[in-house]
Amino acid sequence: MKTQSRRLCKLAMVSLLLGSMVIPVANAQKLKHEGEFIVDGMVFGLPKAKVFTEDYSGPPVVGEYLSALPHLQKLDYKGNKEHHVRMDVISQKVEIAPGVSYTAWTFGGSVPGPTLHVREGDRVVFTMKNRSDEAVVVTDPVKGGSPYFEQLQANPYQKNVPAITPMPHSMDFHSGTVAADDKWRSIAPGETIEFEWVANYPGVYMYHCGTASVLMHSAMGQYGAVVVSPKKGFSTDKKVDHEFVVVQSEFYLEKIGTEYVYDHTAAMARDASHVAFNGHVSALSKTPLRANAGDRVRLYVLNVGPSGTSSFHVIGAIFDRVWYEASPENEWRGMQTVLLGASNAAVIEFIVPEEGLYKLVDHEFADAERGAAGALIAGPRVKR
């Protein structure tokens, strides 16, 4: 009886102590800074962004869960995690169609930029240096960089060449719930910005440069995808055999002399010169996705625009499951095509019916003929 009384007294003391804290015990692990608060289990009120200068010339992309398209880095941890992610702004001359190269403004060196994979509830501490005034090489082996680099260096299409085009730039994560005038502010060449955001909502989100003209900065190549996997997963997670990320985007280029340059008049008229999956008209046609008959294939599809829509379709397949905007709350069944406006996304699954070739297209065929086409090649059924 005395032991029980002592235990109750101890619990009462602990309760009194915890009761004097601003942070509720159940949510203590989620809150990191003074001023943060929780509504409906989500974290808001993050600290102000920091802008500073630093002597940094290391890898322009740092983070364990950053990959190059069409790859998606597996989440090999349980629960939630704090990610420290760097994506520097650098200029690169890249190819987007055979014989068509232009000097792109990039996050990390590729168009689209790296794909970040996190889990609902994770926190991201993001750092970005504007290195548009440096010639940064991304084709050599790099120490301390992201897995993204090996995948980028295996990409035979973009043929990266360092370039210099000093410009102010910014980062706008659609996956973050913050004050845009603070976190998404522009920084000058040589400056670095650091801020945090919490992945409050599952989904597949666009990120892009938000510096004016946003149309120009987006069309020049500054965009990519963030995949926020739902905390409790999707209902088919254990059945999925292959996962790929597909990002559709438009390019507005004109040839002047021997060089291709951005054409703002064409961009305003929405008259794209090229539309591509994963940054190159050949990316998914010359190097198709691979699966086998009977496999369940999951595609994380994002249309970044910047202005056009996408009617995403796989010829010969019916979408068994579609989660619009990649939220498990938005489930559709048995779809032939998924309509995605600029910055919309979906998680799309289909069962490969038999061995053969399955074309991926924007069913708005003018855009398919501009390059928005690819393929999945299915091998024979593998017994498991």
242-251 sheet: strands from edge to edge: 274-277, 242-251, 296-305, 345-351, 319-324, 331-335
Can you tell me whether residue 178 is helix, strand or coil?
A: coil
**How many Cβ atoms from other residues are within 10 Å of residue 238's Cβ?**
8
Asked whether 187 and 72 are in contact (CB, 8 A), the reply is no
Across the strands, what pairs with 348? 299, 322
Give which of 62, 141, 69 is closest to 111, Cα–Cα: 69
Give which of 378, 380, 323 is closest to 356, Cα–Cα: 378
> What is the C-alpha to C-alpha distance for residues 121 and 187, in angstroms, rounded to an integer?
28
289-292 sheet: strands from edge to edge: 289-292, 373-379, 356-362, 310-314, 337-340
Asked whether 310 and 364 are in contact (CB, 8 A), the reply is yes
Q: What is the pLDDT of residues 313-324, one digit of tens each?
A: 999 999 999 999
Read off the pLDDT of each residue in 8-29 and give the average, rounded to a whole number.
Answer: 43
**How many Cβ atoms from other residues are within 10 Å of residue 25's Cβ?**
11
Instruction: Note the pTM of the prediction, 2 decimals.
Output: 0.92
Read off the pLDDT of each residue in 131-145 and give the average, rounded to a whole number.
Answer: 92
> What is the C-alpha to C-alpha distance for residues 30 and 121, in angstroms, rounded to an integer?
8
Q: Who wins on pLDDT, 142 or 220?
A: 220
Asked whether 84 and 125 are in contact (CB, 8 A), the reply is yes
pLDDT of residue 16: 41
Residue 350 pLDDT grade (very low, low, confident, very high; cuts 50, 70, 90): very high
Read off the pLDDT of each residue in 198-227 and give the average, rounded to a whole number.
Answer: 98
> What is the C-alpha to C-alpha distance for residues 185 and 209, in angstroms, rounded to an integer?
10
- Please give the backbone phi and psi of residue 18, each rounded to the nearest 5 degrees, phi first: -70, -30
Q: Is 80 exceeded by the pLDDT of residue 26?
A: no
Alpha-helical segments (H) within 205-356: 214-219, 264-268
Contacts of 376 (CB under 8 A, 6+ apart): 288, 289, 290, 291, 297, 314, 352, 357, 358, 360
pLDDT of residue 15: 42
pLDDT of residue 227: 98
Give which of 39, 38, 35 is closest to 48, Cα–Cα: 35
pLDDT of residue 6: 52
pLDDT of residue 20: 36
Give which of 171, 211, 213 is closest to 193, Cα–Cα: 171
Give, for 17, the enclosing helix (H) or strand (E): helix 2-19
Q: What is the pLDDT of residues 38-58, one digit of tens each?
A: 999 999 999 999 999 999 999
> What is the C-alpha to C-alpha distance for residues 245 and 164, in angstroms, rounded to an integer?
29
Q: Who wins on pLDDT, 6 or 174?
A: 174
Q: What is the pLDDT of residues 258-295, one digit of tens each?
A: 999 999 999 999 999 999 999 999 999 999 999 999 99
